[in-house]
Amino acid sequence: MTSHQTTQTMKPATAAKKLGVYLQATPAEFQEGVVSRSELNALQADPPEWLQELRRNGPHPRPVVAAKLGVSIAGLARGGVTEPLTTEQIDALKEEQPGWLRQERATQAEVRKDTARIKEKQAEKRAARGEDPRA
């Protein structure tokens, strides 16, 4: 029995998501083709100039914008940010500190605190039962 390995490929949208870039800002040949797992690994290991430029200046997809602003994706939507933003636009928002951004950052901080509290409580319960508290 001979085994042949088929090349695993993905749609450009999936590859762009894994690379953390906005698909519509990528070169046409990237958008129109399929990306193999090895091509994705090569792009991650040694990003070409276009990828470095997109990561540096954008436009950035919502998950990246949210992370750079320290808010959730839902928080972006509540703040009226529905389009991809450039690094310059993100920096301007950070500088301006509009009310919605301050509110969403505060909300995000509360969520993180709550998550840490719940995790700690679960670890205490595991320890009380004699289980590994880090599990």
SS3 category, 85: strand
Mean pLDDT value across the chain: 89
pLDDT of residue 54: 92
Q: What is the pLDDT of residues 35-79, one digit of tens each?
A: 899 899 999 999 999 999 999 998 999 999 999 999 999 999 999
Please check whether residue 60 is in contact with residue 38, taking contact to mean a CB–CB distance below 8 angstroms. Answer: no
Q: Determine the Cα–Cα distance for residues 124 and 126; give it in Å rounded to an integer.
A: 5
Q: Region 102-125: what's the mean pLDDT?
A: 91
Non-local (6+) Cβ contacts of 64 within 8 A are 20, 58
- Using pLDDT thresholds of 50, 70 and 90, give the confidence band for residue 94: very high
Q: What is the CA radius of gyration of the chain?
A: 20
Given a cut of 60, is residue 2 above it in pLDDT?
Answer: no
Q: State whether the Cα torsion 42-30-14-9 is positive or negative.
A: negative
What was the pLDDT predicted at 134?
Answer: 67
